[in-house]
Amino acid sequence: MRTITDPADRFDIPFTADEKRTLLGILAFQRDTLRWKCSGLSSELLAYRHAPSTLTLGGLLKHLAVIEAAWVNVTFAGTVETPSWYTQYEAQRERTDWTFATAVDDSAEQLLTWLDEAQRVTERVVAEADLDAIAQEPFWDGERATLRWILLHLVQEYARHLGHADLIREAIDGSAGI
């Protein structure tokens, strides 16, 4: 399980690399920032809610693990590996907020394991594909995206939620920083 306790240990984004390595580098940095924001916290603290929001760091971990797996493993690659959280999803399928709402029932170790799994599969799928390749599965409106679009969307998704993570972590213990 990859742990980041110091922001200086985050992935070092290459300044001179091809497009795929640059995209993966930026994504890795975002992932490491999430791990840093969640480092050293118990399952109880990962479930902390800073009113009036119901977001938790655990919910963000679970959401981003599921989103990454859904976009790359399932939508783009056509499910090269069934995610280990999938049975939980099947039981909660009717809930649109299940990743956020159910994370309080998951341990810190489980949440980080799901994140590791999603990232491992993403790295494998991306290594074997071209950025212009089209997803095997359509998404909600029937459109199919390129791998490039999916990776950029993941960077956007992580970055959006890292702002939430900053605020929640600061509310927990005063820890701040980017």
Which H, E and C letters describe the chain, residue by residue? CCCCCCHHHCCCCCCCCCHHHHHHHHHHHHHHHHHHHHCCCCHHHHCCCCCCCCCCHHHHHHHHHHHHHHHHHHHHCCCCCCCCCHHHHHHHCCCCCHHHHHHHHCCHHHHHHHHHHHHHHHHHHHHCCCCCCECCCCCCCCCCCEHHHHHHHHHHHHHHHHHHHHHHHHHHHCCCCC
Say yes or no to pLDDT of 74 above 80. yes
Q: Domains of the chain by range and CATH?
A: 20-50+57-172 (1.20.120.450)
- In the predicted structure, residue 115 carries a pLDDT above the cut 80: yes
Greater model confidence, 95 or 104: 104
What average pLDDT score do residues 39-46 get?
95
Query: Which pLDDT tens digit goes with each residue over 120-131?
Result: 999 999 999 999
pLDDT at position 16 is 87
Mean pLDDT of the region 65-72: 95
CA nearest 160: which of 34, 36, 52, 51? 34
Specify the pLDDT at position 27.
95
Between 10 and 34, the more confident residue is: 34
In angstroms, the Cα distances linking 59 to 76, 104, 136, 139 are 24, 7, 28, 23
pLDDT of residue 129: 97
- Judged by average pLDDT, the poorest of 84-93, 100-109, 154-163, 166-175 is 84-93
Spatial separation of the C-alpha atoms in residues 99 and 67, rounded to whole Å: 9
pLDDT tens readout for residues 121-165: 999 999 999 999 999 999 878 899 999 999 999 999 999 999 999
Residue 21 banded pLDDT, cuts 50, 70, 90? very high
Whole-number average pLDDT of the chain: 92
Query: Quick one: pLDDT band at residue 4, thresholds 50, 70, 90?
Result: confident
Q: Between 101 and 11, whose confidence is greater?
A: 101
